[in-house]
Structure 1
Amino acid sequence: MKIFKTLSATLLGLAIAAPAAAEEYNANHFFAERHSMVRGPYVDFAKRVAERTNGEVTFRVFSAGSLLPPASSLQGVRDGVAQVSYHAGTYTPAELPIANLIGNMAFYNTDPMVMAFASTEFGLTNPAALAEWADNGVVFGGGYSTSQYFMMCNTDVETLADVKGKRMRMAGGAWSRFAEFVGAVPVSIPSSEMYTGLDTGSLDCAVAAADALDSFSLKDVVTSMNTLAIGNYYAGFEWGYNAGFWQGLTAEQRRVLFDEMAYELAQHRVAFDADVATAVASAKDAGMTVLDPDAALQQALADFVIADEAALIENATSRGVENPDQVLTAFKAVIDRWEALLKDVDRTDTETLAALARSEIYDRLDADTYGVN
């Protein structure tokens, strides 16, 4: 009996001392785990958040579309299938007309670091953008930017004349309009289908960030890459939170998420560009030719950038955006601000970049009220 009482007391003491089991939340991304947009901003992010919250906020990361397919990620995070998710705005133009408006202004500034920080600040602070997130039941956590998009082809594409008639995988929107502007044929397919398209000949080129040479194994089917910078992609969000989940967090937990998103915003940009450099070098070693655009192709892109703003405004107006020209003006001001802030910053120094993201963006948010009121 004495032994039984002692054992019972010991077990009771352990039960009191042990913390309550933390709930595990779902984090969703449709890229594979090895991609830079998942490795840091989701896998590493989940570990850092769990450590800093003592396990109170623990995310289980679902990658490669294993929880939600690309087109369903906005609805999925709204409905609570995921508590946080990446979403590419191109898939939901009717639901996110403002996000697509600024996301389609991809040629105004093609510096990925600038666009990642600018899209984050705009999404967190612009009243029209904030209203759009709220209408969709999402709390915007932070943005991103891919590295610059290039034409990666299974035939040489160097000049404006070479582009004519080529079937090019485009990300939709402004990219598709650019293809038509230069006489190419835009093909709208997910990034996961680029390899098959190039391999079977249904595509001549895939227009995407050059890390795809490795992350989507395109180096096996690409023979040349043109260095014309055809914008970069940042529409939607890298982190969008379910509103109920976000509002159920404490202010201290939200502040942890702010800090870690600032870190991963910077870390992702450093990692993405490093992945591009590695992928291009590997592809060149395997025989890929790197071609510079001729003057006519460069001029065609410059002419398109000027002409396309009218199309951006017209499309946004047709989707119900009020004063889209003012939205673009506001976004340009944020872009210009970040171009100046990042001018002399070491683009490989994650800690310095993260500190800048905190001081200029996340530290200015009120963890008690952001996404709550």
Structure 2
Amino acid sequence: MKLSKPLFAAVLGLTLTAPAIAAEYNANHFFSERHSMVRGPYVDWAQRVAERTNGEVTFRVFSAGSLLPPAASLQGLRDGVAQVSYHAGTYTPAELPIANLIGNMAFYNTDPMVMAFASTEFGLTNPAALQEWSKNGIVFGGGYSTSQYFMMCNKPVETLADVAGKRLRMAGGAWTRFAEHIGAVPVSIPSSEMYTGLDTGSLDCAVAAADALDSFSLKDVVTSMNTLEIGNYYAGFEWGYNKGFWQGLTADQRDVLFDEMAYELANHRVEFDADVTKAVSSATDGGMKIFEPDAALQQALAEFVVADEAALIENAKRRGVENPEQILTEFKAVVDRWAELLEGVDRTDTDALAELAKTEIYDPLDAETYGTN
């Protein structure tokens, strides 16, 4: 159920504010502060933004859903409850059909670095995407990508036959259809509920990035992990801004935000993958078994990737997207461009990656005009 704008603001005791009169603004994320998507891109980022703007743009970071629950982050951002927020597009398919269309292309290229940079460029420059953000009262600041999704299970799951009938936590959309394709039962729940599901037996596997073994303590309830790469998640945005707030900023302040988002776009990917390595190592030391997918499971995934594009297009049309085929073609071109740009680049060199994000994505933007329409 959606709250009306006046009621939403009244419940939280907040009102829309313009940068000229506000001393502190709200930054919202529903992951915990220790997660790589929060500690760098929100906590450290907010500190640097405050320093570089001499305190004129200061954010108070709310994490773990303490300001807005996941499903309400888009509305809360639009209504000014938060001035910047993370949002997972799967919660609002009707409001963000284009963001979900490209977000469900997660099987086209499963390189998280490529998809983080590509989804950011697309969200900042594609006319159809920009129109969608504006229609929702927000300004897109930058994207992200999780690391590859794996099956983390409380029982052995190695082969296609093993998956049959298993209850898999999925992120919705293409992941749900993939579960059905391989004969599993998709269960759509937030990441915060994965632990309980595995612990109580209502889930057999959680399909998510493997950092969740630590960040969501899944290593306590997981006994095996299958390394089939089941896409990676990047739908929505890592930074979206309330339109009124953004338009009240000066061009110099927007340039600071561009620079710091470029840095954290890179840093987040480096940190996320490092967290995955650490979490998997810790879990295997604790007894978790690693299974490679059998040939039948790999073949089933390959067949799904080819077949599912028609479902993506049909779903997008049903939600009112014009020319989804063209949008997917344009997105694939951006993905392929980033696959080339990142070829041979050290994936652990945050500064080099950040410079690439800055020069190729953010520097071409006009801080005077971006997000003002």
Q: TM-score, normalised by structure 2?
A: 0.94
Q: Which runs of 5+ in 1 are unaligned?
A: 1-19
Q: Name the CA distance, whole Å, in 1 between partners of 2:268 and 2:47.
A: 15
Aligned equivalent of 1:180 = 180
Where does 1:50-65 land on structure 2 (aligned, <5 Å)?
50-65=50-65
Asked if 1:302 corresponds to 2:272, the answer is no
Give a deviation string over 1:247-295, Cα, whole Å, max 9, x none: 0000000000000000000000000000000000000000000000000
Q: Name the CA distance, whole Å, in 1 between partners of 2:342 and 2:283.
A: 30
Aligned equivalent of 1:331 = 331
Residue identity in the other structure for 1:296: A
Q: Name the CA distance, whole Å, in 2 between partners of 1:107 and 1:185.
A: 19
Where does 1:77-92 land on structure 2 (aligned, <5 Å)?
77-92=77-92
After TM superposition, what 4+ stretches of structure 1 lie above 4 angstroms from structure 2?
A: none
Aligned equivalent of 1:11 = none
Q: Name the CA distance, whole Å, in 2 between partners of 1:181 and 1:268.
A: 32
Q: Name the CA distance, whole Å, in 2 between partners of 1:361 and 1:197.
A: 40
Q: Name the CA distance, whole Å, in 1 between partners of 2:164 and 2:36.
A: 33
Q: Partner of 2:30: helix, strand, or coil? A: coil
Asked if 1:270 corresponds to 2:242, the answer is no
Give a deviation string over 1:129-183, Cα, whole Å, max 9, x none: 0000000000000000000000000000000000000000000000000000000
Residue identity in the other structure for 2:69: P
The structure with more radius of gyration: 1
Q: Tell me the CA shift for residue 240 of structure 1.
A: 0.3
Where does 1:107-186 land on structure 2 (aligned, <5 Å)?
107-186=107-186
Aligned equivalent of 2:6 = none
Where does 1:1-373 land on structure 2 (aligned, <5 Å)?
23-373=23-373
Q: Partner of 1:361: helix, strand, or coil? A: helix
Q: TM-score, normalised by structure 1?
A: 0.94
Give a deviation string over 1:76-124, Cα, whole Å, max 9, x none: 0000000000000000000000000000011000000000000000000
Aligned equivalent of 2:5 = none
Q: Name the CA distance, whole Å, in 2 between partners of 1:97 and 1:372.
A: 22
Q: Name the CA distance, whole Å, in 1 between partners of 2:25 and 2:39.
A: 18
Residue identity in the other structure for 2:233: Y
Q: Name the CA distance, whole Å, in 2 between partners of 1:252 and 1:21.
A: 17
Q: Which runs of 5+ in 2 are unaligned?
A: 1-19
Q: Tell me the CA shift for residue 202 of structure 1.
A: 0.4
Question: How many equivalent pairs are there?
Answer: 354
Q: Partner of 1:364: helix, strand, or coil? A: coil
Contact 1:89–1:236, Cα closer than 8 Å, also in 2: yes
Q: Partner of 2:229: helix, strand, or coil? A: coil
Contact 1:22–1:58, Cα closer than 8 Å, also in 2: no
Q: Name the CA distance, whole Å, in 1 between partners of 2:149 and 2:196.
A: 19
Q: Tell me the CA shift for residue 22 of structure 1.
A: 6.1
Q: Name the CA distance, whole Å, in 1 between partners of 2:346 and 2:76.
A: 37
Aligned-residue RMSD, C-alpha: 0.9
Q: Partner of 2:363: helix, strand, or coil? A: helix
Q: Name the CA distance, whole Å, in 1 between partners of 2:340 and 2:50.
A: 35
Q: Tell me the CA shift for residue 187 of structure 1.
A: 0.2
Q: Tell me the CA shift for residue 21 of structure 1.
A: 9.1
Q: Tell me the CA shift for residue 53 of structure 1.
A: 0.3
